[in-house]
Structures are given as C-alpha cells and as structure tokens.
Amino acid sequence: MQTPQRAAAASELRLVNPILFVDNIEISMSFYKDVLGFAPAEITSNFVRFDSGFALHEGSSLASSVWGTDQGHPKWFGCRNLLMYFEHDAIDELYERTHRMLDVIHPIAAQPWGQRVFRFYDPDRHAIEVGEPYRTPIGLPLSVQNNPLSATQEMARQIS
C-alpha cells in the first residue's frame, strides 16, 4: 500500500539530465569521451547520454521537436549561457594531461570562495569548469553535506 508521503514523493519533479545542444554529435562525443574520459551510457545516431548524468543531442535534429523547425541554428549552441561544472580529486594532473587539447579559458586558479578550478570550452563553445572537490564552510564535501546520513558518517570518520 502506498502511503500519502510515498505518493507525493513519486510525483515530485526531478532532474534527469541536462542536455547540451551540439553541432556535430560525433565530434562532441569524442571530446567528452576521449579527451575528458566520460563513459557513454546510451548512444543513438543523434544523442549520447553519459554515465555521469549529462547528455549531448545534435541540435539540428532536436530543433524541430523543441522549436518546430528543422533548421539547425548553430549560433544557439555554446552561447555563453551555460557552465557545466565537474569536480576531480586531482585537478593538477587532469589539467596537465588535457590542457594542450583544450580551448582553455584560464588555467587552474583559486576562486574567491577558496576552491581551485580551471575552465575551458567544448567544441560548441559551452563553458566547462573543473574544480577540486568543494568543501563547505563546515569542511564537508557539498555532496555529503546535502545528505544528513552521509554528513553524519563523514563527520564521524573525520573525528576517528
């Protein structure tokens, strides 16, 4: 039997994955797979979903279902209106390994909030940011702090 709380939770809006419109699915898939190391979880002729939770869709093929036109419009892609944010435990190593293959916006730099990040463009000029794992003011990774059970376990680990 479904409780009222369970029924409400089942109907909550949830983010499945952000989808980047790209000009050429093969070039973009290769960039994210071969240069950045993301593993595709689903591939079709005009769509790629990566196991890390984002997807690429060839923009011209999606334009008809979104805007009712078959005309692709490349100027829509990478319009400085999106930043994909990733974290990596060893950003110095990642930067050294990849920066020669990237269109770097800036090298690794400390941000005003104390986190070190570097930023670059993908083939469609979407901005990508890679940062060291962000620690909240109480010293926990953001992904842990937002989960009370994980936060309690992490705090206990740090104390012991």
Q: Are 26 and 32 in contact (CB under 8 A)?
A: no
Query: Can you tell me the distance from the alpha carbon of 47 to that of 29, in angstroms, rounded to the nearest whole number?
Result: 9
Overall domain count for the chain: 2
Q: Is residue 103 part of a domain?
A: yes
Q: For each of the chain's 160 residues, which pLDDT tens digit applies?
A: 555 555 555 568 787 889 998 989 999 999 999 999 999 999 999 999 999 999 999 887 777 667 666 655 656 667 767 889 999 999 999 999 999 999 999 999 999 888 999 999 999 999 999 999 987 766 655 555 455 555 555 555 656 5
Q: Are 86 and 151 within one domain?
A: yes
Per-residue burial over 73-84, b if 16 or more Cβ lie within 10 Å, else e, is eeeebbeeeeee
Q: Are 150 and 100 within one domain?
A: yes
Domain ends where: 26, 54, 72? 72
Q: Are 86 and 153 within one domain?
A: yes
Q: Are 65 and 86 within one domain?
A: no
Containing structural domain, residue 111: 81-160
